[in-house]
Amino acid sequence: MNKPTSLPALTALLVLAGATMVHGAVTIQTTGALGGYGGSNLDMNVFFDGAGVSSTGSPFFTAPGSTVLAGAFGGSVGISFDAMADVSLAPATLGDELTDANFNVDGAGFVGVAGGPNSGGIGGNATQHEGIRITFDEITGISPSIGIRLTGISVQNVGRPGTDTAGESFTIVNLMTRQSVTFDPLAESLSAGTFDVSGLDIFRVGGDAGDVASIISGDIGGFRIDGLTFETFAVPEPSVALLGGVGLLGLLRRRRA
């Protein structure tokens, strides 16, 4: 697994503080009703009711979960998937779409990309890498003091001894920082399921919608996705976090004196 590069010191401080105040998670998963879908985009909205319980009106996905943060009650998170036939691997644009594509959804509702190197899965070779871009295309009715962090992506058709190809891999990219992590399921004794991407700190806050991540094929084999997990957390006030860090530094200096 590749280790993400370091964030700037202040950003790292804020992310660390936020990560200690997680207040609920939502798991989005296919219902299986998508079989045969071939469009280029998939959209869903996740709603929090007045008590913080989540749901979605999509017939294709479920979204069980909750938040205890009152600033998210009554709010919603719009999520979209975009199929990509070829994805940039250049460091400055890692994860960006080079060529648009359509989805290929199998009978179980697992989502792949039509055509290309894997004929329906999300595949790749030395010159072409398919992928899916994930966007929080709206975060409405949610306070800017609340963050929405992507923590896991559910990947299917990977890590099967005797079925999947040795060297089959996929990469998750934080589209805001270009940090990435690569999984090689067979080599790492992993299997299909939810892969933890929390170390990439892929998040946006209330009112700040936009692209968040891409999942890209390696050079060999292929895979499909069937959902994701995100969590809500309280974003610390920068001044409080910064003062806390300064205070800790002062305390350490006094102890050394």
pLDDT of residue 11 exceeding 80 = no
Residue 2 lies in a domain: no
Q: What is the mean pLDDT of residues 154-169?
A: 93
pLDDT of residue 253 exceeding 70 = no
pLDDT of residue 14 exceeding 50 = no
Query: What gap in Å lies between CA 66 and CA 64, rounded to an integer?
Result: 7
Q: What per-residue confidence (pLDDT) applies to 234?
A: 95
Q: What is the mean pLDDT of residues 149-158?
A: 97
Residue 4 lies in a domain: no
Burial of 42 (0-12, 13-18, 19+ CB in 10 A): buried
- CA distances, 163 to each of 83, 120, 192 (Å): 25, 16, 12
Handedness of CA 57, 201, 183, 179 (dihedral sign): positive
Residue 192 lies in a domain: yes
pLDDT of residue 17 exceeding 90 = no
pLDDT of residue 21 exceeding 90 = no
Residue from 144, 161, 148, 142 nearest 230 by CA = 148
Handedness of CA 39, 83, 138, 110 (dihedral sign): positive
Interval 190-214: pLDDT, tens: 999 999 999 999 999 999 999 999 9
Q: What per-residue confidence (pLDDT) applies to 236?
A: 84
Interval 86-121: pLDDT, tens: 999 999 999 999 999 999 999 999 999 999 899 899
Query: In which residue are the tokens 């280790």 written?
Result: 3
Question: 74 is in which domain, residue-wise?
Answer: 9-256
Residue 221 lies in a domain: yes
pLDDT of residue 8 exceeding 50 = no
Interval 162-187: pLDDT, tens: 999 899 999 999 999 999 999 999 99
Query: For residues 241 and 41, which has the higher predicted lDDT (pLDDT)?
Result: 41
Q: Percentage of residues in the chain with pLDDT exceeding 90?
A: 81
- Average pLDDT of every residue of the chain: 87
Number of independent structural domains in the chain:
1
Residue 194 lies in a domain: yes
Residue 92 lies in a domain: yes
Instruction: Say which range, 61-75, 224-238, 241-255, has the weakest mean pLDDT.
Output: 241-255
Q: What per-residue confidence (pLDDT) applies to 12?
A: 41
Q: What per-residue confidence (pLDDT) applies to 223?
A: 97
pLDDT of residue 29 exceeding 90 = yes
- Find out whether 130 and 117 touch, Cβ atoms under 8 Å: yes
Residue 1 lies in a domain: no
